[in-house]
Amino acid sequence: MFGVCNHSINNGDYGHVQQPVDRISPTQQVLVTTNLTKELFVKTRMKDNTSPIHIWLLSYQRSGSSVISSLFGDNPYIFFLYEPLDSIYTALYGLSPGWAVPADLAVNRNGTLRKMPNIEKESVTTFLKNIYECEFDKLPTEFFIHPFWWQFMNWTEQVKPYVSCLSASGVSVKTLSYMQRYLRIFCGIRTGYISGRQVKCLGKLWPNYRGQELLSRIMIAGKLRFVHVNTKKSYITSLREMRKKCNYCINKHLRVKCIDTRVRAVKTVRGTMDEAEVLLENDPNFKVVHLLRDPRGVTRSRMKATWSRGFYDAHKEERTAHVYCTTALQDYKTSERLRRKYPQRLMHIMLEDFISEPEETLAGLSDFLGISFNEDTLHNLIKRMRPGFVDKWRHELSSDLVDIINRESVYLAESRFDVFVFPLT
C-alpha cells in the first residue's frame, strides 16, 4: 500500500508589525542579462532566451535538501546561495541568527498551520527577487554578515572568497550576534517567542528609534531588578557602519559573480509555495524545484537533530510528523494549482528517487531546468549520500511511532494528491 501525507489545515494568528519600508522596500523588477563567452560547466539549452535562469530549491529541514543543493553549490558557473532566508527574520524581528526555526514558521504552538503575516511574505519575495536580479544594495545588512556564510560555506565553494574577504575586513562569524547583544533585552531569541516588549524591540530595529538607553527588567541573583544599559549607538547606526565595511567584499565577490552568471539558484527550508506564487507571476524565468521526503525519514532525522524542532513538537515525536505533513501538504496543494497556471515551471522530486534512480532523476531535473550537468556532478552527489541513510528509520523508529506517523497519512486511493507516494510498510 502507498500513502500520502494528509492533515486538516487550520490558520493560526500571528501578531502584525509595521512594514519596514526603510529596510526592505519593493522595487520594480529588472531582468539582468549576461553573455558568457567561456565554455560553461553548465550549458543552457534556452537558446532563444538570454535572460538568467532563476531556480528555487524549496524544501524542508532534514529532507535531504543540503545534499541535493550540491548540484548547484559545487558548480562554479551557477550563482548559488544556501539558506539566505534566516537573515530576513533576523532583520524583521531581531531574532538571534539561525533561530528562525522552520517548524515555528510553519505551525503555531497548538499545531495549527501558521498564517504568514503579509510583511513576511512581501519581505521574502522581495528579498529573493533582489537576489535573482543581483540587486544587493537592496538587501538588509544582516544578510551579508550572517553566521551561515561561515557555517555552511562547505556547501558552496563560491562563497569562500567572500568569507575570506569579510574576515580580512574584521568581520567574523560572531559579529552579528555581538551587534545584537542589546537587542536581546527586548527582542525574542527565536521564532514564536512571546514578548511583551515587542514594540520596544521594533523601535530598536527600525530608524524611527530616537532613544539611546534601554530600560529592562532582568534577573540578577534570583531577584528582579531594573537595569539601565547605555548602548552608545543605535542598532541601525551599527548596521550602517558595518555595511560600509562590507561593501567592498559584496561588490567584488557577490555582485560581480551574480551578474556574470547565467544560472542563479537558492536553496531554502524557510520558504513556502505562497511566496513562490508571487515570483512565478512576476518572473518568467523563475522555476521551483519542490523537494520532498518520506515523512518517516524526516521524523527520524528531526528526532536526532533536536534543534530542528519547534515549540509545538519539541518534546513529542509524533508531533514532528504532524508538522512536516501539515506544512508539505499545504505547499503541495498550492503547487498543484500553480502547475496548472504555470506549466513547465514547477517540479516535484522525492529524495528517495535520487537514491534509487539517481541518473534518471537527475536527467529529469536537467530537462525541467533546461540545463545539463556533467558526470562529475552526479558522482559528487552520490558521494554525499551516505549509504542507507534514507532507510535508517526502519531500524531506529519504534513500531508504535511508525504506526502514528502512518496515521498522519491516508491511502493514495482516498486522496486527490499523488505526491508523497511511499510504501506504508
CATH of the domain at 358: 3.40.50.300
Give the Å distances, CA to CA, from 298 to 116, 216, 249, 304, 318.
23, 40, 37, 10, 12
Query: Is residue 264 predicted with pLDDT exceeding 60?
Result: yes
> What is the spatial order of strands in the sheet that 422-423 belongs to?
409-411, 2-5, 422-423
Give the pLDDT score at 192. 76
Query: Is residue 36 predicted with pLDDT exceeding 50?
Result: no
Residue 351 covered by a domain: yes
Query: Is residue 2 predicted with pLDDT exceeding 80?
Result: no
Residue 45 covered by a domain: no
DSSP state of 254: I
Residue 23 covered by a domain: no
Greater confidence, 149 or 188? 149
Give the pLDDT score at 197. 62
The pLDDT of 357-363, averaged and rounded, is 90
Residue 34 covered by a domain: no
Give the pLDDT score at 341. 96
Residue 37 covered by a domain: no
Domain range enclosing 128 = 2-16+51-423
Looking at the chain, the whole-number percentage of residues with pLDDT higher than 70 is 76
Task: Provide, for the chain, the percentages of residues in helix, strand and coil under a 3-state DSSP scheme, each rounded to the nearest 5.
Answer: 45, 15, 40
Answer whether 0.85 is exceeded by the pTM: no
Residue 27 covered by a domain: no
The three three-digit cell numbers of residue 417, written as one number: 494528491
Residue 179 covered by a domain: yes
Query: Is residue 360 predicted with pLDDT exceeding 60?
Result: yes
C-beta of residue 81 within 8 angstroms of C-beta of residue 144: no
Query: Is residue 45 predicted with pLDDT exceeding 80?
Result: no
Residue 352 covered by a domain: yes
CA dist 221 and 292 (Å) reads 48
Q: How many domains does the chain have?
A: 1
The pLDDT of 140-145, averaged and rounded, is 94
pLDDT band with cut points at 50, 70 and 90 for residue 356: confident
